[in-house]
């Protein structure tokens, strides 16, 4: 890989030019351009598989090479080292990586909250006999999250603060999502912050929802995840990036209109039990991404103490979508 460079001005010019780009990316022999996509096996990514099945990426002159990992932040160094072209990950992870100085740019939404309390794909739960009735009641409690400093911790922090409580006294502990219900049942933790399909599993075991944390953080369909690239990739291959975004937009539109197709793809690329797939709350695949979408996530992360400069992180992350 060439030495990493700050390409802010170049990236801005490239992003502005992308809006006018309508052709497919060219290869010397006319073959499709391979896009190496990194992601995780979660509901959001079903849209990519739906679009692939519908032929949208092929029509854009692209062939996807998808690598699924278990932890999107751990895959970011490979993206920076040009082992991947595009990555899917939680919006807060993107902003935190930029805050640490990594040259990343968001190119599209990766998924949204439904914006409906009690009917969303992320939630904060307590045991059925817990005295906790609302987020503010968790002051001084122990709350399990899947990643310290990650999206769920940021959203729990925000939900407690918005409810008038003091999240500073909460003891966040890291547990894998599948292990959380048992930890709650045994009293190891006072509450768990989880997401589908594990949210549905925990509710089915009798645990009680006290907050739809994504909704309590951003009521209007929070952008929970994004697709992003490096500045160098955007400057070097603007037509490929734009073709990917166009195909992804078509994929999101189809996924939003055909939830059955989304559930079918979840059966193909995840290990989620079929009966859970049929019941789980799906991602909202409404298309669009703006600096305002990213700013509210950045502010929530800053309030939770996991981001130092939310304005600078937002400006950098939104460089492409603002130009587009």
User: For the chain, what are the domain ranges?
Assistant: 8-113+221-323, 122-217
CA angle in degrees (0–180, nearest 5) for 300-208-129 = 125
Confirm whether 8-113+221-323 and 122-217 share one CATH topology.
yes
pLDDT tens per residue across all 324 residues of the chain: 333 333 333 333 333 333 334 445 756 667 899 999 999 999 999 999 999 999 999 999 999 999 999 889 999 999 999 999 999 999 999 999 999 999 999 999 999 999 999 999 999 999 999 999 999 999 999 999 999 999 999 999 999 999 999 999 999 999 999 999 999 999 999 999 999 999 999 999 999 999 999 999 999 999 999 999 999 999 999 999 999 999 999 999 999 999 999 999 999 999 999 999 999 999 999 999 999 999 999 999 999 999 999 999 999 999 999 887
Distances (CA, A) of 304 to 157, 176, 235, 307: 6, 21, 33, 8
Q: CATH number for the 8-113+221-323 domain, one of 3.50.50.60, 3.40.640.10, 3.40.190.10, 3.40.50.620?
A: 3.40.190.10
DSSP string, 133-191: -SGGGGTT-EEEESSTTSHHHHHHHHHHHHTT--GGG-EEEE--GGGHHHHHHHTS-SE
**What pLDDT, on a 0 to 100 scale, did the predictor assign at position 30?**
74
Best CA proximity match to 46, nearest among 128, 117, 138, 111: 111
**What pLDDT, on a 0 to 100 scale, did the predictor assign at position 21?**
41
**What pLDDT, on a 0 to 100 scale, did the predictor assign at position 324?**
75
> pTM of the full predicted structure?
0.88
**What pLDDT, on a 0 to 100 scale, did the predictor assign at position 224?**
97
**Which is the CATH superfamily of the domain at 122-217?**
Periplasmic binding protein-like II (3.40.190.10)
Distance CA 324, CA 321 (A): 5
């Amino acid at each position: 890989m060439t030495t990493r460079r700050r390409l802010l001005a170049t990236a801005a010019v490239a992003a502005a030019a992308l809006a006018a780009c309508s052709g497919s990316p060219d290869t010397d022999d006319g073959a499709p351009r391979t896009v190496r996509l990194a992601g995780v096996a979660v509901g959001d990514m079903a849209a990519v598989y739906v679009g692939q099945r519908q032929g949208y990426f092929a029509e854009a002159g692209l062939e996807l090479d998808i690598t699924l990992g278990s932890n999107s932040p751990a895959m970011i160094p490979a993206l920076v080292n040009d082992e991947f072209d595009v990555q899917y990950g939680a919006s807060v992870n993107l902003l935190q990586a930029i805050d640490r100085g990594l040259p990343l740019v968001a190119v599209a939404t990766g998924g949204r909250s439904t914006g409906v309390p009690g009917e969303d794909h992320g939630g904060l739960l307590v045991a059925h006999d817990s005295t906790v009735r609302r987020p503010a009641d968790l002051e001084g409690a122990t709350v399990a999250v899947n990643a310290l400093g990650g999206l769920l911790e940021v959203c729990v922090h925000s939900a407690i603060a918005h409810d008038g409580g003091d999240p500073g006294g909460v003891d966040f502990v890291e547990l894998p999502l599948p292990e959380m219900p048992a930890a709650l049942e045994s009293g190891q933790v006072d509450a768990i912050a989880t997401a589908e399909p594990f949210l549905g599993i925990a509710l089915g075991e009798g645990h009680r929802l006290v907050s739809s944390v994504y909704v309590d953080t951003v009521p209007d369909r929070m952008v929970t995840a994004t697709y992003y690239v490096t500045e160098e990739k955007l400057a070097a291959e603007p037509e490929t990036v734009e073709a990917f975004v166009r195909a992804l937009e078509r994929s999101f539109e189809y996924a939003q209109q055909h939830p059955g197709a989304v559930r079918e793809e979840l059966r193909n690329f995840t290990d989620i039990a079929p009966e859970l797939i049929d019941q789980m709350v799906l991602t909202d695949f409404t298309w669009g991404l703006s600096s305002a979408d990213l700013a509210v996530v950045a502010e929530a992360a800053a309030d939770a103490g996991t981001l130092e400069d939310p304005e600078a992180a937002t400006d950098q992350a939104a460089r492409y979508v603002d130009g587009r």
